Structure 1
């Protein structure tokens, strides 16, 4: 039972003005780490062209997203390595190590030769650098959240740690501003050729600033007290994960809070950006600007929901955000199509596209090694073109011997059967068929690009803001809840693993999985089922098993 003060709150030290400055410095340093990490996601299109040019376009983009996700895949391992160090030797020194790894690996991406220069070595080195970034970030967040919470005065942990929650969005926002500024100053051709490297290269300056900031930090008073009393853990991994009393809370935190928070975060920010560019064909500069405006409008609400969680609890806000996301994602992304590319929305309603084919002849439109051109069957020929063009279509199964037919409204086009054709004949037949489809789609009103003059930019920003508001609900209180779930001697290790499994795996792989689901089915909204189902599952598990933590004593 926690010792409480007269007003019913657990005892805890009061934050001094100097501690508040230290917390601000910690948050600012974390912003720079997120800037480094998210540059890759923002520049996925350019990275796809530079490092995955040996495969078809759809596969190249999905592989670029997979390499982006590779950094997330290793975050739990970074959490284990650096969480253990943080619980053994302290929060401050761990900060410095993670910062150095992140900054140097980001800088190296800007220097990496392209696929055209060094061949297959380029993507392998790129993935290796992403893995280093992921390891560093895996050790960063738990330390920052723990450090800030252990400095916070009683009854304000949600408010104080919510500043850490803004750092991911602020890092993304900073990266957006740099990318937008360079695109505007250099022009798109120069940026695509070499300018995309500049945001990575200037990260070396941010590294110097961030290291200086981190060197000003004092150690957490809670950890310092444990160290002086000799009560720090000697085996934090064993205590955290080999004993059911703590492991069960790790699992509850993961499935009852963090998994849903993660998919809402990545669907509302990164998937929305990719959806605008890849599916709705909004030019990259415009998509970046619209996302940046929405993030700027939503970011203060991280602080608001952190503050609110100090008053009504963490659980109702986090689970409420997950429940809302599960309910509104499909209508919001549908509305985003109508606002960002009204011509596309109108064409989909007026002249829907259908592929009539025997489904055994249709391949899964994703080739991880890039060896399949998807032209061995008539169904693959049809689907490859529509997937590359970002066209929404329905699948209808037909008899085995029936030809593959693409219907655009009332018009029908029979796909060529490549069986028995020579390579030259196949190429000519595919080219002619694709030309027919392109002409028919244009006649039906399907645009090559979103028309900026027809776009309802106010509505787009409003929809993106609504998606970002759901992010602020689930993300604002999560750090405080995770800190409060675990004892101080193994807090860094215990909270880091569920956070980074959730955000590294459930969230980090969302863009890759969602676009692979879209490519496989032809339904541009099908990928939304992934975040919707995970968010709904989190609500159920959270309601049943997740405790409320906002009045707990974190000094024990």
Structure 2
């Protein structure tokens, strides 16, 4: 259990300039923070994404063999969506301790919960061995994954932003924002390697479990890195003044309801683009279009490079151009790209399919990159962990949890073009929400 008592060390280790910048931190310390925030999010999103890939490729047969193919796919995506429902709960739980105890200890706890839940999925017997208990335990582990990830992003973003000098918060926030790109690339790459080297029976019987079991090793690496970082100077000052919120989640609802709802709305398109272009399109192309699994995984690897490029470009440019402006550019591009995504994908031409997926993920990266600094800057220090995490993960419920489910239903009833219109509609919602938010680049974190 995390001790909620403010530590003496936290009170005494406050740099004189804490609250305006981390100018007291040397280059080596800032590099350590950047590496720790990047590695942690990369590992946790790797854990999260391997489930999405497995849900699209094999979990329907392993855990729901008695259902029709369509219903089994929907059931598989439903277990996938469970984690998104759990993520706001994780934001409240971990945000509470993150705003009362500190960022560092909470990030260690979230990494452990996420990693161990993921690894246990790799050890879980299928329906043929454990019957109904197998899918029930799968749902439970997926729920715990969501709790862990719900506490991860906000802490990692704050770790970077609250250590960064004022004019470079977008740059330092780019490192945790790159974590999902690297995690997705690693998850997809491992599945592609297994698909290319194993026959179909071996892949479906045991090969798909390997990426989950690797989480044991990755958690050890993440813990080694994160235990070496210090508490952020901005939060250390709050602790020294004994200004920590007693009920951070309630304070967010009372003092920042507008920022919470509009921030969540701004995140909807990022989630919608990502999970439509990855999880749903992987399932759609391999089942409806008959594209080989290894080919689609290879195309997803190429598309991931577009995601990383968009994320880094927009995050680093946001220090000069402003967070809000770049997010608006990304949402505007997404409105257009939603309409061409499936016409390009339906050509079944590898180059055009790569363009379809890569363009969607590039738009997502342009929105997602600045959000690493934008969402934390919307909330005051006392409730920043809870506020940023809740906004981020509530957007995930609307944009990520339901996207594969809605897309599957739309495609089966109205054709693939309707899924593209759905993506564009999510982009319009995010565009309107961000238009109602202010620019935050010049704000002091205190």
Confirm or deny a common fold (TM above 0.5): yes
Structure 1 partner of 2:213: 201
Q: 1:113 aligns with which of 113, 122, 125?
A: 125
Q: 1:144 aligns with which of 137, 156, 162?
A: 156
> What TM-score results when the alignment is normalised by the length of structure 2?
0.92
In 1: Cα distance, 2:251 partner to 2:400 partner: 27
Contact 1:29–1:214 (Cα < 8 Å) also in 2: yes
Structure 1 partner of 2:364: 471
Structure 1: runs of 5 or more not aligned: 1-9, 341-455
Contact 2:161–2:172 (Cα < 8 Å) also in 1: yes
Structure 2 partner of 1:40: 51
What do the CA deviations read for 1:194-236 (whole angstroms, capped 9, x no partner)?
1111111121111111111111111111111211222222221
In 2: Cα distance, 1:548 partner to 1:152 partner: 18
> Equivalences for 1:123-142 in 2 at 5 Å?
123-142=135-154
Structure 2 partner of 1:258: 267
> Equivalences for 1:447-526 in 2 at 5 Å?
456-519=349-412, 521-526=413-418
Structure 2 partner of 1:278: 287
> Equivalences for 1:48-63 in 2 at 5 Å?
48-63=60-75
Q: Report SS of the residue matched to 1:74.
A: helix
Structure 2: runs of 5 or more not aligned: 1-18
Runs of 4+ in 1 over 6 A off after TM superposition: none
In 1: Cα distance, 2:178 partner to 2:83 partner: 20
Contact 1:264–1:474 (Cα < 8 Å) also in 2: no
In 2: Cα distance, 1:275 partner to 1:16 partner: 49
Q: Report SS of the residue matched to 1:234.
A: coil
Determine whether 1:327 maps to 2:339. no
Determine whether 1:267 maps to 2:159. no
Determine whether 1:550 maps to 2:436. no
Contact 1:268–1:470 (Cα < 8 Å) also in 2: no
In 1: Cα distance, 2:309 partner to 2:425 partner: 28
Cα RMSD (Å) of the superposition?
1.6
Structure 1 or 2: more helix by fraction: 2
Q: Report SS of the residue matched to 1:299.
A: helix
Residue 129 of structure 1 and its aligned partner are, at CA, apart by: 0.4
Structure 1 partner of 2:38: 27
Structure 2 partner of 1:451: none
Contact 2:111–2:223 (Cα < 8 Å) also in 1: yes
Residue 126 of structure 1 and its aligned partner are, at CA, apart by: 0.3
Residue 320 of structure 1 and its aligned partner are, at CA, apart by: 1.9
In 2: Cα distance, 1:248 partner to 1:281 partner: 45
Flag the structure with larger Rg: 1
In 2: Cα distance, 1:11 partner to 1:219 partner: 15
Q: 1:534 aligns with which of 426, 434, 445?
A: 426
In 2: Cα distance, 1:474 partner to 1:225 partner: 31
In 2: Cα distance, 1:274 partner to 1:549 partner: 39
Tell me the number of residue pairs that the alignment of Structure 1 and Structure 2 aligns. Answer: 425
In 2: Cα distance, 1:505 partner to 1:70 partner: 12
Contact 2:97–2:106 (Cα < 8 Å) also in 1: yes
Residue 108 of structure 1 and its aligned partner are, at CA, apart by: 0.9
Q: Report SS of the residue matched to 1:272.
A: helix
